[in-house]
Amino acid sequence: MAMYDAKLTNLCKHINPEVESNPLGITSIILSAAEKLSGSLLPLEDHLSLKRQSPHPPDVLQSVENCESTLPESFEIQAIRIPSSVNETIETLVLNLSSASYYLDVIAEALGVTEASRVQVSRTIGKASSEIRLFFCPKQQLLDQSLEPLEVHRVQLQGSLNVRASYFAGQEVYGDAILASVGYVWKSANLFHEDMSMRTYYRLLINKIPSGVYKLSREAISVAELPMAFTTRSNWRGFFPREILYTFCRQHRLAEPVFCIPNSSLGTSTDPHGTCKKLKVTEPIEEGKKSPVLAAGGGGESDGLTGDFQCEVKIFSKCQDLILQFLSTKAYKKQTDAVQNAALKVLLWLNLFFRESNISSEKLSSHAKELGIQFYSEYFLKEFNICSLVHDFWMSFATVEDGLLDRKHMKANDDMVENGVFSLNMGGQASGVNPSSGSLVCIGYTSCLVTEGGTKEHLESNEQFEFEMGIGAVVPCIEGIVTQLSVGQSACFGAELPPLEFILAAADDSPTTISLLSSGKCSLEHTITLLRVTEPLEDRMEQALFSPPLSKQRVEYALQHIQESHALSMIDFGCGSGSLLDSLLDYPTSLDKIVGVDISQKSLARAAKMLHSKLNSKLDYKVSSNRIKSAVLYDGSITNFDSRLCGFDIGTCLEVIEHMEEQEASLFGDVVLSSFCPRILIISTPNYEYNVILQKSAPQNQEEDPDEKNQSQAYKFRNHDHKFEWTRAQFCDWATDLSRRHNYSVEFSGVGGVGDVEPGFASQIAVFRRKEENPKNVEIAHHCKVIWEWSEGDRSKSAL
């Protein structure tokens, strides 16, 4: 009872912080305090319990008797037995309770002891509201009265530490333990009880891993994945990174994470706590409710938007040892973005540790360095040592047939597509609406476990599941397939099994699943349908506000120059999924060679698919006066020199430079005009000054956070991937300087809006023309990879 009571526990923690990991110490503290109280309480010889000296007053006894119990005479509840050895599997267990007996006696019996007073009860496990506890028996030696009360837990009990139970309880548990949701709660006179299943057990287990918390928050264990990047609040689904970090720290009995926004205006402060403003953060909030608000403690004045925000995170143990810290190297426009991104970095690193239970410390350190994390391995290992024993997915299932263990080698590799996908089957008409990076997509899916013999067991399904593309918000195999689908299409494919604990956390009926898993080689089968694609904000705005859509206007603008210049060859720098190359094929031009370059393999794959079907189409291309003889797509950065990109009649680079850092954009400018030397080069980029208009009439305003809208609107870019957006003056300076240095002329225009009315065009365009007749000869150098190549001969081949 001592440990059971949160108030007593907290008081005892003040006396001795070590009771955090050894709640048995609480009993000792209370017993020694009771000894000093004479006359009312009597410690019993077992040194475990207290007794009132005088009996309870009659009215108290009366009220207990009057409490009517509505419990059935006898009933069963399901619990989980966690054997103390990790080599033994967890199993379900039925407790036969009755209104006439004491429930702890039943548990005692199941644990192999005679008396309820021998049973120790842990703190609650899992969510704050849960009533799930572990029941176990401390070993007799532990109660040896010759020991100093707080020395008790130092007794070495070889081999009987129950690692799994200890991991859940955050305290040392010895011997077999029973996990059950049963007991008396304040709210009711009746015994509270709920069944536990294997699924509940595995959900508790994965709730201790960052990616598990995220998967659970999305109710999509087999498909959701903790994303690699926090983009915008409106696109994020599931718990926010900061909430997950809070949950994680609570789950692992660490102190609350500390978030700091170093505040430059306090830079000269003599405050011993440095220049950090400690943020008061509201309690984690349930999904769907209003987003949590960050309030800056102390200061009072509103957080200026003058400076950019960086965020520092520190994780301490309960004993205030610093375990790790993160300082963002990137500054964010919004404070919340800085905080969420910082929390996410920490979570991603922690997740590595759980994903690879035997990860080497060198590997951990190098990942930490990459992410900007500093960790103190001594304290880190002290807190997390136990995790690798419990999360070793295969070890806990050592009795399961070996078939499971070589899941990596299952299925022939010949029909393997990317990301471990095999037996891919796609169906449905291509509607042409494809998701791209930054799109919000909605899929319906069903995941099943399939054995080699063809037995199928349903694992999980979701009618509508929404996520943002391109940030790793779903497992790689799903994202890889979704990029290939267009709205309305479906795909069915096989995939490798995820870790066992994820499967069992998803499975409705774990016993069946376990028997399937142990009966032979299994794989996962996903069936997905792409239901909707919502374009990134920029595209939505461009489509809603301009007619024809701005992207189409850019393409038409380029097309016009291609036609007027009678160009024979054209190269699209940063071609993306090939929208310009695609449109070109619909119009008569003099082009016989077209090339696209990009660094996004996914976009290139889509471009290749589209060009391939268009160029090989059986339609007579003479009709559209298309004379294309060759087409190539390269994977590579346009900032690197490659001799195959040189000497084109016309080059285009539409809405690309703003996706690079400014220095890179300048590097591209130099390389393209000094080495690639197209006769004409068209560069387009957003006009920052036009954003006022886009934002005023943006159809999606309500999506943004109301409390952030006013502050940040003036600072917002059109797309979260944009590294910069220039005003007309900035773009003009950049382009004019470039043209002078490389002997080109430059003219400015644009599309969307009217050029000579403020604030100018929506997309600003510079057209460079080479003054020199013949560009200098260039050295041969190849760094790009040919992704796809086509020549006229291919068409006749495929026509046969």
- Binding site partner of 698, from ligand SAH, Mg ion, none, Cβ cut-off 5-8 A by kind: none
Beta carbons of 768 and 680 less than 8 angstroms apart: yes
What is the number of residues in the chain? Answer: 800
Choose among 286, 287, 295, 345: nearest CA to 315.
345
Pick the closer one to ligand SAH by CB: 226 or 537.
537
Residue written as token pair 């004379």: 627
Choose among 20, 245, 23: nearest CA to 138.
23
Pick the closer one to ligand SAH by CB: 22 or 749.
749
- The nearest distance, CB 600 to Mg ion, in angstroms, is 13
Beta carbons of 243 and 235 less than 8 angstroms apart: no
Asked if residue 660 binds ligand SAH (CB under 6 A), the reply is yes
Query: Is residue 458 exposed (0-12), middle (13-18) or buried (19+ Cβ within 10 Å)?
Result: middle
Give the interface size with Mg ion as a residue count (CB under 5 A).
1
Among the listed residues 656, 694, 698, 738, the single contact to ligand SAH using CB under 6 A: 656
- Binding site partner of 654, from Mg ion, ligand SAH, none, Cβ cut-off 5-8 A by kind: ligand SAH
Q: Binding marks (x or -) toward ligand SAH, 398..437, rule CB under 6 A?
A: ----------------------------------------
Asked if residue 599 binds ligand SAH (CB under 6 A), the reply is yes
Give, as ranges, the residues between 750 and 789 that touch ligand SAH (CB under 6 A).
none
- Binding site partner of 637, from ligand SAH, Mg ion, none, Cβ cut-off 5-8 A by kind: ligand SAH
Query: Per-residue DSSP letters for 356-392?
Result: STT--HHHHHHHHHHHTEEE-HHHHHHHHTTHHHHS-
Torsion of CA 218, 224, 226, 231, to 10 degrees: -80
Asked if residue 655 binds Mg ion (CB under 5 A), the reply is yes
Pick the closer one to Mg ion by CB: 642 or 655.
655
Beta carbons of 781 and 642 less than 8 angstroms apart: yes
Pick the closer one to Mg ion by CB: 164 or 554.
554
Give, as ranges, the residues between 619 and 638 that touch ligand SAH (CB under 6 A).
637-638
Give, as ranges, the residues between 114 and 143 that touch Mg ion (CB under 5 A).
none
Our CA angle for 12, 16, 17, nearest 5°, is 95
Stretch that binds Mg ion, among 117-125, 129-137, 507-515, 655-663 (CB under 5 A): 655-663
Residue nearest Mg ion by beta-carbon distance: 655
Among the listed residues 181, 231, 251, 600, the single contact to ligand SAH using CB under 6 A: 600
Q: What residue type is assigned to position 184 of the chain? A: Y
Q: Binding marks (x or -) toward ligand SAH, 554..593, rule CB under 6 A?
A: --------------------xxx--x--------------
- The nearest distance, CB 726 to ligand SAH, in angstroms, is 15
Taking each helix axis from N to C end, the angle separating 377-384 and 361-371, rounded to the nearest 10 degrees, works out to 110
What is the CB neighbour count within 10 angstroms for residue 150? 17
> From CA 284, how far away is CA 296, in angstroms rounded?
16
Pick the closer one to Mg ion by CB: 244 or 440.
440
- The nearest distance, CB 371 to ligand SAH, in angstroms, is 22
Q: How far is CA 69 from the centre of its chain?
A: 47
- Binding site partner of 161, from Mg ion, ligand SAH, none, Cβ cut-off 5-8 A by kind: none
Among the listed residues 639, 687, 691, 739, the single contact to ligand SAH using CB under 6 A: 639
> From CA 400, how far away is CA 521, in angstroms rounded?
11
Asked if residue 686 binds ligand SAH (CB under 6 A), the reply is no
- Binding site partner of 683, from Mg ion, ligand SAH, none, Cβ cut-off 5-8 A by kind: none
Choose among 641, 514, 573, 604: nearest CA to 90.
514
Please give, one letter per residue, the 3-state secondary structure of 108-162. Answer: HHHCCCCCHHHCEECCCCCCCCCCCEEEECCCHHHHCCCCCHHHHHHCCCCCCEC
Q: What is the 8-class DSSP label of residue 658? A: G
- Binding site partner of 704, from ligand SAH, Mg ion, none, Cβ cut-off 5-8 A by kind: none
> From CA 469, how far away is CA 282, in angstroms rounded?
30
- Binding site partner of 638, from Mg ion, ligand SAH, none, Cβ cut-off 5-8 A by kind: ligand SAH
Give, as ranges, the residues between 277 and 316 that touch ligand SAH (CB under 6 A).
none
Locate the DSSP E strands across 40-114: 41-43, 50-52, 74-82, 91-98
> From CA 232, how far away is CA 775, in angstroms rounded?
45
Pick the closer one to Mg ion by CB: 572 or 655.
655
Asked if residue 537 binds ligand SAH (CB under 6 A), the reply is no
- Binding site partner of 603, from ligand SAH, Mg ion, none, Cβ cut-off 5-8 A by kind: ligand SAH
Among the listed residues 172, 468, 479, 598, the single contact to ligand SAH using CB under 6 A: 598
Q: Which residues of this protein are in contact with Mg ion, per CB under 5 A?
A: 655
Q: Which residues of this protein are in contact with ligand SAH, per CB under 6 A?
A: 574-576, 579, 597-600, 603, 637-639, 654-656, 659-660
